[in-house]
Each structure stands twice: as structure tokens, then as C-alpha cells.
Amino acid sequence: MSGGPDSLALAILADRWVHERGGELCALTVDHRLRPESEHEIRRLRGWLSARAIRHEVLAWSEEKPKSGIQEAARIARYRLLAGWCREHGCLHLLIAHHREDQIETHLIRRRAHSGADGLAGMSAIRELGDCRVLRPLLGFSKERLRALLKAEHQPFITDPSNRNPAFERSRFREGDGAMPAAAELPALLAEIHARATLRVARERDGNAFLARAAKLHPAGVALLNAGILLAMPHEMAERVLSAVAATIGGALYPARRARIARLRDLLGATAGHGHTLGGCRFVRWRERILVMRELVRASPPARLAPGESIFWDRRFHVMLPPNGATRLTIGYLGVAGVTQLNRLVPHGRRGCLPRLLFPILPAVWDDNGIAAIPHLDYRSKSAGVLPRIRFRPVNPLTQAGFAVV
């Protein structure tokens, strides 16, 4: 919560709801450290919450701030801090105060940007993150009703000046030609958003059914698509499958553009070739399948691990080195040079059942003596000590929790 009217109303309502059920509540404020007055505002907010006996914790974004794209960077940092707190405290539910006008603005902004059908469905009432479940219980309620609650409670609130900063898209939208529609127009617009959301639910259900038939994931971080099933699908559904697979294997922050996905679908149907790229992935026809693998030039560099350390590497793998490890290790992709070294180490040995063209993008572990292990090829050097646990847990799962309609 920021201390604005929306999050304060949510805190009051959630506090009552939780106490009626014998639960626990904590209000989390992220101090982005972007405005000098934020410290004073947080002290005011803490006083208001203390008077209501609501537990309050502050999470600071202390990293160096980017010179551009600050709002998006702040949003990413905010959710990272909030989800991290939930993970550390075993908290499943993270409540966010988006309300009806936020939903309408989201729809209108995306419509102006020519977003696809899924984007025009607005925000989901439930969103699953890796560490918690985001809930938006106020999506069906107007900002006016939330302010009326605060007035009845004699509760002041903080007004964030960044909400009027023309550097930010929503501020420009509110101040420009994107003002909230007249009250008489709202019922029809809300009905349109609801209808689009309902259609999105149906599309996701059908898409998941096709994914179950056409796609298989391997714990090495690659996907195998049934080319016959994929190319026989209706074009729109095939493109949804390709988009989902690319997001999972590539770990991109945003989905690929629709035009690029459509072009990839056409290319895969026309020729085998040497592969095509999309969203940090390579798509290669192999026998009657399509292999989808990480594009090495877009991947994260190798990372070092100390004993007892755990990292989330390349937005796809959770890697943990047990504390009884005797030395630091490096996790990275095997690469072309690593394949050459493997050929020298095991010239005639068994190397698993994966196609050789996947070898360069397999996770590998190095110690001071060279390659210590390639887990997905069942290779381990004789001198290797305690090895890290490597689990494929992509930031973009192949199937998401279903879109929830308000």
C-alpha cells in the first residue's frame, strides 16, 4: 500500500474481513526512494495504521535506478520485493487495490495501443506469481465508493504527485483525450470488458487443451512440439501455442508481437531450414517435431555459486548449491566450446537421449578443473564434488492460472 485512498480503503476492508475469520494481515509499503518526501509520507502512513492496530512493514528499493523506463523498472522492483516478502513469510495472498476505474483505464490504454483480444480483457482478478497469489478484490468497485468509505472513517490519505507526472503513460492518458468516459457510457463499456474477459477464459481453456496435445517440456529447458498437430490447428490457436512456448523457453518479459508469431507459424509450415528465432528462442524442425531451445546469444551469462547459495538464473532455472559444498562453482550453458571439450572427455560414452543440436544450450557446471557435470546428459567428472541442484522453473510457465473475471 502507498497510503493513497485506494490502498487505505483496501487495508481497512481487508483488516475487518481477516479479523472476522481469525486470520492475519500485514500492510506492505515499498519505498522506491525516488522522491525525498516519501520518508515523511511513510511515517504518516505508519501512524494511521498503528492507530488501527494494523501491522506495517516497509520494503526499500535500494538498487541503482535506471536513467530511462523508471516507472516500469519501479513496478518490476515493487512486485519483486512484495513477492519476496510473501515467500519469506509463507504468505500466499497479496492483495492489490486496483479498482473499477483502473480496469477501464487499462482497457482503454490497450485499445489505443491496438492490443490483442487478451489485452482488451483487462486485468485478471487473480494472478499467480511464483511466490504468491495476487488478488484484486476491488476491481468491481468504483473509486468514488472507496473515497466514501474513507470519508465515513474520517481517514485522511496521501496524494502521490507522480500520478500527475506527464512522463508516465497513465498520467498522460488521464490528462489528455483518455479521460474517463461519461457515467452514462460506463455500463456498456464495463459490459464489453466483461464479455472480452469471458471470451479470454474460453480461449485459454481451448489453448491449454491444444498445448497438452502438441507440446512437451524437458527439464533441460527445451520444448518439443508435434509439428503435425501444431500446423493442423486453426492459425490463431497455433499462434497462441507458439507464443506460450516462446515465453516459457525464452523467459522474455513481454510476449512477442502477433505479427512475428504469425510469420513464424508460416515459416515453420513452409520449410525445415536451419531454424527461426522468436522471443529469445530458436525453433528448429527435427524429424516430425519442432525443437524449441534457448537462443544462446540472448541468454544470461554464467553465474558463480558459493556453498549454501541459491539463485534464479536466466529467468528459467532455480539453482542451489548445498552448504556442504567445498568450493564455488559456475553454472552456465555448455556452449559450442563446451561441446568440443565434452567430445574430448567422453569420445565414445553415453550422452543421454537428447539430440546433439541441443547440447550447446544444456545447463552445465564448472569447477576449477573444468566441466564438473552436465546433469541432463548424465555426465559427471571423476573429480566433481558436491553439485548444485538445477530445477527448470521458468518465470513464464507454459500454462498460467486461468484468467479470473469480475
Segment-wise mean pLDDT, segments of 10 residues, the chain, 406 residues: 96 97 97 91 96 97 89 92 96 97 95 90 91 94 97 94 60 63 92 96 91 94 95 91 95 88 90 80 91 95 95 96 88 95 76 84 95 94 92 91 88
pLDDT of residue 171: 60
Please give the residue range of the domain that contains residue 321.
301-392
Cell numbers for 128 = 499467480
- List the alpha helices (DSSP H) in 307-385: 335-345
Q: Are residues 32 and 153 in the same domain?
A: yes
What pLDDT does residue 316 have?
96
Is 205 a member of any domain?
Answer: no
Number of structural domains in the chain: 3
**Cα–Cα distance, 394 to 315 (Å, whole number):** 6
What is the pLDDT at residue 255? 84
pLDDT for the residue 155: 97
- Amino acid identity of 398? L
Tell me: do 9 and 127 sit in the same domain.
Answer: yes
- 139 and 265 in a single domain? The answer is no
Strand ranges (E), 219-325: 222-226, 276-278, 281-286, 289-294, 303-305, 310-313, 317-320
What pLDDT was estimated at residue 325?
77
**Is 27 in the same domain as 158?**
yes
Domain co-membership, 164 together with 46: yes
Cell readout for 207 is 489453448
Instruction: Report if residue 126 sits inside a domain.
Output: yes
* Contact (Cβ atoms closer than 8 angstroms) between residue 345 and residue 372: no
Q: Which residues, in sequence order, are bridge partners of residue 390?
A: 319
Residue 258: predicted pLDDT? 87
Q: Indicate whether 199 belongs to any domain.
A: no
Of 297, 330, 357, the domain-final residue: 297
| 8 A C-beta contact, residue 402 and residue 204 | yes
Q: Does a structural domain hold residue 113? A: yes
- Dihedral angle, C-alpha 156, 13, 11, 49, nearest 10 °: 60
Same domain, 42 and 92: yes
For residue 172, the model assigns a pLDDT of 59
Amino acid of residue 162: S
Here the cell at position 385 is 564434488
User: What pLDDT shows up at residue 287?
Assistant: 85
CATH number at residue 74: 3.40.50.620
What pTM does this model have? 0.76
Say yes or no: 312 and 261 in one domain.
no
